[in-house]
């Protein structure tokens, strides 16, 4: 029994020894592996350090920390589109640079937009701290299994860091810094803030940055008005704005829309019914409101807005110009788009037979015009040239071009000043030719005439003699008081009585001068900016209307009475507005190089110039023809329905 009991025991003992031996051997190899791995890791770290990578990473971390130290919400609200409104509060233009951001706060962004981006761009957005290694693994797996990446390896926070603070250059250093900045962003801002910044700054192709600009650009609607399908469609674009551009690759955009909707359904962000309806919905782009008709008024508005910002902030032109196009300002103006269109159409129709082109393709014969509201002194319409398909330069002749004014200057520097110094409408003047003096346009002379007659018939002789009596210094001082900007020292001579100025005057200046006569001699600096606010509605600019008396009230009123006769008996006879008292003056330079008409009612003052950009004469361009015809057509239209009002 004893032997039989000993036999199993003897058999078991060698087995235990073998197990222990294997265990010891396995432990040895495991330890050896750990030692080897540790050596490799230490070696890698040594090489990493020796090659300078450690120092680079530390430097990148410090740089990211410095970036976040100086970070403010303004970093994510830069390059915002401004908006321009007409006098009725209608949006007429976007102020935009290379980027077109219409910024929305988090509570203005629909939840469907947030859910769509999280579902397709960053599944674990609300769980990670800026960097998500699982996302990289998912992207790699997708690339291997499907040969495409349906979800990127970069988190939403990383993408934001890259878009705002970094470039898109593919280098390991940029990727490391991107991760550091993303993690720092998560420490400084909330998830809702990061999502807000991201959605407002990503690119939606075709010049649209941010979901609101994209919604307005592709559907002519605010994002709050879009359907679930349309929302997902837009959210498909930023992943690859070229590949998913809906204007050129609609099929690609639709496929990614469907993927987004599928992800949202899986995440229970939408119901099955919502998913089915959204996938089946047809996408119809509507770009009718993506652009605003650019007029000559826009050029004037932009310039005046920059100047207004300069006055308000004390900053230089370039700085204020940049702010205007990137600061998200709201610019409110006195421009009346109906009057703007009417004035443009009047010019185009009257000059339609003149089709000769300059070497640059623009019409050789040009025009400019300004309409001022006499109640406010503000510009309602300003045209800087003829309409021409495909051509609208930034050169607005109405305030940028200076031309010889001819006889239209006479009431401003000769006759009204004379009325202030004892002359009257019935005063006698001598219409005779002097040896060294100017000739009348008709080359006829009437001898003794009244001042009223001299103005109505635009006599050169009488104006010349009166300015000699007044002196050019006195006459031109009135233009200086009305901000005429191009008066030169050489202009202080008697030829200025006939509009012979070195540089000349602009249509805006002439119109504002006549508006002063309509306003009982009180000059108001012409402008079109009524207010500028920031995107939150805070007032940035509230212009202080500059006005001061230039002419005595009595003299201005008598001059108006005289100028009424120009449209009844004088050089513009028969061109008055039926049933509406009006006054005005023609102007023609030598050889009809520049022709003018400036006139007013109690309601509006309008000045018109016609001529060639490269001065040359044209007998048919008399001041009593095209300028006054344009004036009559336009002023008749804008006075329709207004009660007759004495000047």
121 is catalytic: yes
Q: How confident is the model at residue 172, as a pLDDT? A: 54
Give me the DSSP letters along 350-375: HTTT---B-TTSSBSEEEEEEEEETT
Residue 513 lies in a domain: yes
3-state DSSP of 285-305: CCCCCCCCCCCHHHHHHHHHH
Q: Residue 173 pLDDT > 50, yes or no? A: yes
We report the CATH number of the domain holding residue 223 as 1.10.3810.10
**pLDDT, tens digit, 9 for 90 and up, residues 403-459:** 999 999 999 999 999 999 999 999 999 999 999 899 998 999 999 999 999 999 999
Q: Are the C-beta atoms of 258 and 277 separated by less than 8 Å?
A: no
117 and 29 in a common domain: no
More confident position, 181 or 112: 112
d(CA 130, CA 188): 11
Task: Decide if 460 contacts 438 (C-beta within 8 A).
Answer: yes
Least confident of 1-5, 375-379, 583-587: 1-5
The neighbour count for residue 588, using CB atoms within 10 Å, is 26
Does 375 score more than 50 pLDDT?
yes
- Provide the pLDDT for residue 56: 62
* 546 within domain boundaries: yes
**What is the pLDDT averaged over residues 112-140?**
80
Query: Can you give the pLDDT at residue 36?
Result: 57
The answer to whether residue 562 is domain-embedded is yes
Q: What is the pTM assigned to this prediction?
A: 0.75
Using the 3D structure, point to which of 280, 300, 332 is the last residue of a domain.
280
In total, how many domains does the chain have?
A: 3
Does residue 581 form part of some domain?
A: yes
CA angle 562, 591, 486 (to 5 degrees): 70
State how far the Cα of 625 lies from the Cα of 350, in Å rounded to an integer: 10
C-alpha 316 chain-centroid distance: 18
- Has residue 223 been placed in a domain? yes
CATH number at residue 425: 3.40.710.10
Task: Based on the fold, state whether residues 633 and 528 are members of the same structural domain.
Answer: yes
Task: Tell whether 540 and 463 lie within a shared domain.
Answer: yes
Task: Give one word for 71, left, alpha or beta, with left for phi > 0 and alpha for psi -120 to 50.
Answer: beta
The widest CA-to-CA distance across the chain, in whole angstroms, is 167
- Over 90: is that where the pLDDT of 110 sits? yes
Residues 524 and 456 in one domain: yes
Instruction: Please give the helix or strand (H or E) that residue 609 lies within, else none.
Output: strand 604-612
Amino acid 109: pLDDT: 96
Both 43 and 162 in a single domain?
Answer: no
Dump strand ranges (E) for 217-262. Answer: none
Q: What is the pLDDT of residues 225-273, one digit of tens each?
A: 999 999 999 999 999 999 999 999 999 999 999 999 999 999 999 999 9
Average pLDDT, the chain: 86
pLDDT for residue 151: 47
409: in domain: yes
pLDDT band at 34, cuts 50/70/90? low
Query: Is the pLDDT score of 46 beyond 60?
Result: no
Domain hosting 142: range is 98-280
What DSSP character marks residue 244?
T
Same structural domain, 475 and 593: yes
Tell me what pLDDT residue 361 has. Answer: 85
Q: Do 528 and 431 reside in the same domain of the chain?
A: yes
pLDDT band with cut points at 50, 70 and 90 for residue 169: low
Higher pLDDT among residues 632 and 6, named by residue: 632
Residue 63: Cβ within 10 Å count: 15
- Residue whose entry in the numeric block shows the structure tokens 């950009």: 613
Residue 63 lies in a domain: no
Residues 22 and 149 both lie in one domain: no
- Tell me which of 81, 83, 121, 177 is the catalytic residue: 121
Q: What is the pLDDT of residues 201-210, one digit of tens each?
A: 888 988 888 9
**Residue 507 within a domain:** yes
pLDDT at position 147, please?
45
Q: Is 45 helix (H, G, I), strand (E, B) or coil?
A: helix
In whole angstroms, what separates CA 89 from the centre of its chain?
Answer: 16
Residue 349, pLDDT above cutoff 80: yes
pLDDT at 41: 53
Shared-domain flag, residues 421 and 485: yes
User: Long-range pairs for 486-495 at CB < 8 Å and ≥24 separation?
Assistant: 486/402, 494/464, 494/467, 494/468, 495/438
Residue that is last in its domain, among 249, 280, 311:
280
From 41-45, 390-394, 540-544, 550-554, the region with the lowest mean pLDDT: 41-45
CA distance 624 to 81: 45
Phi, psi angle pair for 596, to nearest 5°: -135, 160
Residue 369, SS3 per DSSP: strand
The 10 Å Cβ neighbour count of residue 321 is 18
Residue with tokens 């990727």: 175
Q: Which is more confident, 19 or 530? A: 530
Q: Are residues 35 and 109 in the same domain?
A: no
Say whether 375 is catalytic.
Answer: no
> 417 versus 216: which is more confidently predicted?
417
Do 261 and 137 lie in one domain? The reply is yes
539 shares a domain with 598: yes
Residue 621's pLDDT is 58
> What's the number of CA atoms in the CB half-sphere (13 Å) around residue 97?
13
With a cut of 70, say whether residue 158 has pLDDT above it: yes
The catalytic residue among 81, 334, 407, 458 is: 407
Tokens of 558: 């008598």
Helices (H), 205-289: 211-219, 228-235, 250-266, 272-280
Structure-block tokens of residue 504 = 């000349």
> Looking at 54-121, which runs of residues are DSSP E strands?
82-85, 91-95
Cα 306 to Cα 331: distance, rounded to the nearest angstrom: 10
End-to-end CA distance of the chain: 145
Mean pLDDT of 285-306: 87
pLDDT at 42 over 60: no
Share of the chain above pLDDT 70, in %: 82
């Amino acid at each position: 029994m004893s032997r039989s009991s000993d036999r199993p025991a003897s058999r078991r003992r060698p087995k235990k020894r073998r197990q222990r031996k294997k265990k010891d051997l396995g432990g040895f190899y495991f330890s050896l592996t750990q030692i080897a791995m540790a050596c490799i890791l230490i070696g890698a770290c040594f090489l990493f350090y020796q090659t300078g990578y450690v120092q680079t990473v530390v430097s990148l971390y410090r740089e990211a920390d410095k970036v976040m130290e100086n970070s403010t919400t303004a970093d994510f609200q830069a390059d915002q589109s401004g908006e321009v409104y007409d006098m009725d509060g209608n949006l007429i233009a976007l102020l935009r640079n290379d980027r077109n951001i219409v910024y929305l706060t988090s509570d203005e962004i629909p939840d469907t937009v947030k859910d769509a981006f999280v579902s397709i761009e960053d599944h674990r957005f609300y769980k990670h701290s800026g960097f998500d290694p699982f996302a990289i693994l998912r992207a790699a797996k997708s690339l291997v299994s499907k040969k495409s990446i349906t979800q990127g390896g970069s988190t939403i926070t990383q993408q934001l860091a890259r878009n705002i603070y970094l470039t898109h250059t593919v280098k390991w250093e940029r990727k490391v810094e991107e991760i550091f900045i993303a993690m720092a962003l998560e420490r400084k801002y909330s998830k809702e803030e990061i999502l807000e910044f991201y959605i407002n700054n990503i690119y939606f192709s075709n010049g649209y940055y941010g979901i609101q600009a994209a919604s307005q650009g592709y559907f002519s609607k605010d994002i709050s008005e879009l359907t679930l399908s349309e929302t997902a469609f837009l959210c498909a674009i930023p992943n690859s704005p070229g590949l998913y551009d809906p204007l050129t690759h609609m099929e690609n955009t639709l496929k990614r829309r469907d993927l987004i909707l599928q992800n949202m359904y899986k995440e229970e962000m939408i119901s099955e019914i919502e998913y089915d309806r959204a996938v089946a919905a047809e996408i119809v782009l509507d770009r009718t409101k993506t652009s605003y008709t650019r007029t000559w008024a826009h050029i004037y508005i932009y310039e005046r807005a920059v100047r207004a910002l300069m006055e308000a902030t004390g900053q230089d032109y370039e700085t204020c110009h940049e702010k205007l196009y990137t600061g998200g300002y709201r610019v409110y103006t006195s421009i009346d788009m109906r009057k703007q269109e009417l004035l443009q159409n009047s010019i185009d129709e009257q000059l339609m037979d003149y089709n000769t082109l300059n070497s640059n393709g623009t019409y050789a014969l040009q025009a400019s015009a300004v309409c001022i509201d006499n109640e406010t002194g503000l510009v309602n319409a300003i045209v800087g040239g003829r309409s021409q398909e495909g051509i609208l330069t930034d050169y607005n002749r109405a305030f940028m071009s200076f031309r010889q004014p001819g006889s239209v200057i006479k009431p401003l520097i000769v006759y009204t000043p004379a009325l202030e110094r004892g002359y009257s409408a019935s005063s006698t003047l001598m219409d005779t030719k002097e040896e060294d003096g100017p000739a009348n346009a008709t080359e006829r002379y009437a001898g003794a005439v009244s001042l009223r007659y001299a103005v109505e018939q635009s006599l050169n002789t009488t104006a010349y003699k009166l300015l000699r009596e007044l002196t050019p210094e006195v006459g031109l001082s009135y233009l200086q008081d009305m901000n005429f900007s191009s008066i030169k020292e050489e202009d202080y001579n008697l030829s200025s009585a006939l509009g012979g100025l070195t540089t000349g005057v602009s249509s805006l200046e002439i119109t504002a001068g006549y508006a002063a006569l309509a306003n009982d001699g009180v000059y108001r600096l012409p402008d079109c900016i009524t207010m500028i606010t920031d995107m939150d509605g805070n007032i940035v600019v509230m212009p202080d209307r500059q006005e001061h008396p230039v002419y005595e009230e009595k003299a201005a009123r008598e001059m108006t009475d005289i100028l009424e006769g120009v449209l009844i008996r004088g050089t513009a006879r028969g061109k008055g507005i039926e049933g509406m008292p009006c006054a005005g003056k023609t102007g023609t330079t030598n050889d009809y190089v520049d022709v003018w008409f400036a006139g007013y009612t109690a309601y509006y003052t309008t000045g018109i110039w016609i001529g060639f950009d490269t001065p040359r004469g044209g007998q048919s361009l008399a001041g009593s023809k095209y300028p006054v015809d344009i004036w009559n057509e336009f002023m008749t239209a804008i006075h329709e329905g207004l009660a007759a009002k004495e000047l």
